[in-house]
Amino acid sequence: MIKIYAPASIGNVGVGFDILGAAITPINGDLLGDCITIKRSEKFQLFNKGAFSNQLPENHKQNIAWKCWSKFCNVVKKNIPVSILLEKNLPIGSGLGSSACSVVATLVAINEIFNSPLNSKELLLLMGEVEGEISGSIHYDNVAPSYFGGLQLILEDTHIISQTIPNFKNWLWIVAWPGIKLSTAEARKILPKKYTKDVCVKNSRYLAGFIHASYTQQSDLAARSMKDFIAEPYRSKLLPNFFENKKQVKKLGAISCGISGSGPTIFAISDNIKIAKKISLWLEQNYLQNKTGFVYICYIDTKGVRKIG
């Protein structure tokens, strides 16, 4: 029996639409991500548990774990029945890479139980394919950080899909999920099909500035470069009072604030734990819409997917 954990992630990281992704882990030691427990079985079995298991489809063939197993069997041309327990700790449609967590943990677990027929690149390609079927387009900014950990730059080069870039170890990432669902596919549909040259140039400038600042460890420049001209102007209307919340957390001392993935989770960054706690408390009191919502203060998770238990 194998138990695999895959961490939550922040897609886009503000400035890098479909290009940047960061794996995160709460500083209090909680597991913010999904777990898969797998073993060989006489027939395929799938069980669900966890805080958000009630959001999963009743038909197991619509479940991400089954889709991963089915696709994996097709790729390796073997049909090995397994028993899977999916522990769903992330809400679906949260903007924290919920589907990516399930995809990464499941495929890594299946690959191991099948004696690792796929290498890391082949696994990542398969992860992107499954994730694309769920969200409407193939993108790696959640699966890559959840798989490899750290801050990932998505290259989609012929030989290299994603590479880890330096992050700022003193940064604290405050993530707030308001307790409501937002479909990734719907959040992608709201974006325009074309952008002006000025917007493209401006976004490229800030993205390049962020990458440069990350490698040269210029924290202030990196924070100032985290501006989103691609998604935030359009997706902000889908989030509860986004610009007011962003204004307030910056007043409290956040060095950056943006939408996590397609939302409705938002993230704020601080390099001071006292300020991070103030931001966390303010978001708890003002951004959460119901009792299921949550706020976590996180570090970058540098481990990625891993065995636990």
- Determine whether the annotation assigns residue 29 to a binding site: no
Convert the pLDDT of each residue in 18-48 to its tens digit: 999 999 999 999 999 999 999 999 999 999 9
Q: What is the DSSP code (8-state) at residue 219?
A: H
| CATH number assigned to the domain covering 172-300 | 3.30.70.890
- Determine whether the annotation assigns residue 293 to a binding site: no
Mean pLDDT of the chain: 95
Strands 172-177 and 256-259: unpaired
Convert the pLDDT of each residue in 212-235 to its tens digit: 999 999 999 999 999 999 999 999
The yes-or-no verdict on residue 157 having pLDDT over 90 is no
Q: How remote is the C-alpha of 35 from its chain's centroid?
A: 15
- Determine whether the annotation assigns residue 135 to a binding site: no
- Determine whether the annotation assigns residue 94 to a binding site: yes
Report the C-alpha gap between 240 and 3 in whole angstroms: 36
Q: Domain extents for the chain?
A: 2-165, 172-300
CA distances from 280 to 53, 104, 204 (A): 26, 28, 31
- Determine whether the annotation assigns residue 93 to a binding site: yes
Among 136, 90, 110, 95, CA closest to 39: 110
The yes-or-no verdict on residue 276 having pLDDT over 80 is yes
The yes-or-no verdict on residue 158 having pLDDT over 80 is yes
Question: Which residues lie closer than 8 Å to 47 by C-beta, 6 or more apart?
Answer: 83, 84, 85, 86
Query: Nearest-5° angle of CA 264, CA 31, CA 87?
Result: 85
Report the C-alpha gap between 207 and 20 in whole angstroms: 9
- Determine whether the annotation assigns residue 99 to a binding site: yes
Residues found in the chain: 309
Residue 193's pLDDT is 95
Question: Which residues lie closer than 8 Å to 257 by C-beta, 6 or more apart?
Answer: 245, 246, 249, 250, 266, 267, 268, 269
* CATH for 2-165 (3.30.230.10, 3.30.413.10, 3.30.360.10, 3.40.47.10): 3.30.230.10
Convert the pLDDT of each residue in 97-136 to its tens digit: 999 999 999 999 999 999 999 999 999 999 999 998 877 7
Strands 45-49 and 82-87: parallel
- Determine whether the annotation assigns residue 101 to a binding site: yes
Convert the pLDDT of each residue in 279-307 to its tens digit: 999 999 999 999 999 999 999 999 999 99
Residue 133's pLDDT is 84
- Determine whether the annotation assigns residue 11 to a binding site: no
Query: Nearest-5° angle of CA 263, CA 24, CA 250?
Result: 60
